[in-house]
Structure 1
C-alpha cells in the first residue's frame, strides 16, 4: 500500500490515472492497440503530459510497480491502462482503515 500512496502523491501521475479512466475522451485513435482494451501508447501520454519519454517512463514505472496500471507491449511501443480491480481494492482498503 505504501507504493500506491507514493504513486498517488504526484500530480502528474494523478492526471495520468484520470486520463486513463476514459482514454477515448482524452486521446486520439491509435494505429496500433485499442485505447480501451490495450491502453494508451506511452508516446501519447508523454505528449499530452508535456514531458520527455524518460520522465514519462519513470512515472509509469512507479504506477506499474504500485499495481495501478498495466503495461502491454505491442511492436516497439508500450501501452498503459488502469488496473481497475487494483484501484477498487486500494479504495476499499483505505475505506477500511478510516
Structure 2
C-alpha cells in the first residue's frame, strides 16, 4: 500500500507530524491554516534540498495524506485529515 511506503521514511513521517500544527512554521503571506505550508518552509525544517522536499511531498500526496494548493509559483501543503482518520480506523481494525 502506497500509504505505508510514504510513512516508511522518517523524514516524511516527521513532515506529516509537523503539518499537524501549520502555525509552527514561519509566517506566510497566506495563513497556513487556510492554504497549507509553503514547500520552502517544509524544506528548511527538514534540512533537505528543494528537490528532495518536493519528492517527499509528492510521495505523501500520491498516498493521499496531504493536499497541495498552488499560489503563484509556490506549492502549499496541508494534511488530509479525513484520509488520515480513515487510515487510523483501517489500521485499528487490522490489529
Aligned to 1:19: 18
- RMSD across aligned positions (CA): 0.7
Aligned to 1:95: 92
Query: Whole-Å Cα distance in 1 between the matches of residues 16 and 31 of structure 2?
Result: 17
Q: For 2:26, which of 18, 22, 28 is the aligned residue?
A: 28
Which consecutive unaligned segments of at least 5 residues does structure 1 have?
none
Alignment length (residue pairs): 95
Aligned to 1:70: 67
1:86 is the counterpart of 2:88: no
Query: Whole-Å Cα distance in 2 between the matches of residues 28 and 52 of structure 1?
Result: 18
Query: Whole-Å Cα distance in 1 between the matches of residues 71 and 60 of structure 2?
Result: 19
Q: Secondary structure at the match of 2:5?
A: helix
Which consecutive unaligned segments of at least 5 residues does structure 2 have?
none
Following TM superposition, where does structure 1 have runs of at least 4 consecutive aligned residues deviating by more than 6 angstroms? none
TM-score (normalised: structure 1): 0.94
